[in-house]
Amino acid sequence: MRSINWTSLIVIMVLLLSGCTQKEDPQKYIKDLYSWDAEVRLVAGNALVGMGERAVPALIKELESPDPRVRYISVQILGRIKDPRAVPYLVSILKGPSKQMAAKAAEALGRIADEKALKPLIEAASDTSGLVRADAIFALGSYKGDQVYDIVVGALQDSVARVRARALAALSKYGKKVYGQVSPRIVDLASDPDPEVRYIAVQSLKWAGDRPEVIEALIKALDDPYQSVRLKAAISLSLLGDPKAIEPLEGLLARGTEKDKAAAKLALEKLRRRSSP
């Protein structure tokens, strides 16, 4: 007998529910947010997202629920619905005492990207909590303007690794050309003490252009203790197409793990095709 794929079953249920949500009362699913069963909460959350603006008033009310988990989930769902009516309530949470809730509110506000949330998010980008700063910085990536851009770039040098990582991720929202403009900082982050920061930096350098310092940083990353970083370095080098990477990639092919060797082989094939007459 074949085993049940619960993830697929949940998706099917959500799709079926989404067809019914136009007529149903949001409270039916609000009630399920209080369930101890994670799958029940997941189905309810997706159904509420499917309802869109009809679910917003009920979700805003749940931001004052005595159950902190329901408040947390309600913030997430409001961010996914992206209705600007939720902004003042989310800003209030952003400024509230719970740093975990404030961080989740920052994330939701970044999804909505309403101008009324810009000033509070800028303020949150200087919060004493790295958790809040990180999500505020990432949220600011949804906004344009020199002030916001400078804040995001400045966060690349934050003392907290998660903030640096989220700042790198936020840069992707500004388009690929910004990576060339800040490539010296990203090159430095390719040697960051934190592996997540190195991973995102090495991945980002493929958009920084074929510059000597970029190629050098990526070649160095081929010796990173984390395989995930080495794999991203190989991919980035193959996309940049600099023949100086051939010999270091051959070294990775000779000494690396099976995944290292596969990535190095693929990168070498691409580089050799480019360099052949």
Regions of the chain with pLDDT less than 50: 1-2, 8, 11-12, 15, 17, 20-21
User: What whole-number distance in Å separates Cα of residue 191 and Cα of residue 200?
Assistant: 11
Residues 6+ apart with CB under 8 A from 218: 190, 202, 205, 233, 236, 237, 240, 245
Tokens of 199: 């991973």
For residue 179, give the amino acid letter.
Y
Q: Is residue 206 part of a domain?
A: yes
Q: What is the pLDDT of residues 8-19, one digit of tens each?
A: 455 445 545 455
Tokens of 190: 């390719």
Q: What is the pLDDT of residues 131-178, one digit of tens each?
A: 999 999 999 999 999 999 999 999 999 999 999 999 999 998 888 888
Residues 6+ apart with CB under 8 A from 105: 75, 90, 91, 93, 94, 96
Residue 266 is part of a domain; what is its CATH number? Answer: 1.25.10.10
Q: Is residue 245 part of a domain?
A: yes
- Write down the pLDDT at residue 2: 46
Helix (H, G, I), strand (E, B) or coil at 164: helix
Residues 6+ apart with CB under 8 A from 112: 78, 79, 82, 83, 84, 86, 87, 90
Q: Is residue 24 part of a domain?
A: no
Q: Residue 250: phi, psi to the nearest 5?
A: -65, -35
For residue 261, give the amino acid letter.
K
pTM here is 0.85
Q: Is residue 199 part of a domain?
A: yes
User: What whole-number distance in Å separates Cα of residue 197 and Cα of residue 187?
Assistant: 11
- Write down the pLDDT at residue 40: 94
Q: Is residue 139 part of a domain?
A: no
Q: Is residue 90 part of a domain?
A: no
Q: Which range of residues forms the domain containing residue 240?
A: 186-277
Q: Is residue 102 part of a domain?
A: no
Q: How many domains does the chain have?
A: 1
Tokens of 217: 């940083």
Q: For 146-169, b where at least 16 C-beta lie within 10 A, e where not — what string?
A: eebbebbbebbebeebbbbbbbbb
- Write down the pLDDT at residue 55: 96
Q: Is residue 261 part of a domain?
A: yes
Residues 6+ apart with CB under 8 A from 268: 238, 246, 249, 250, 253
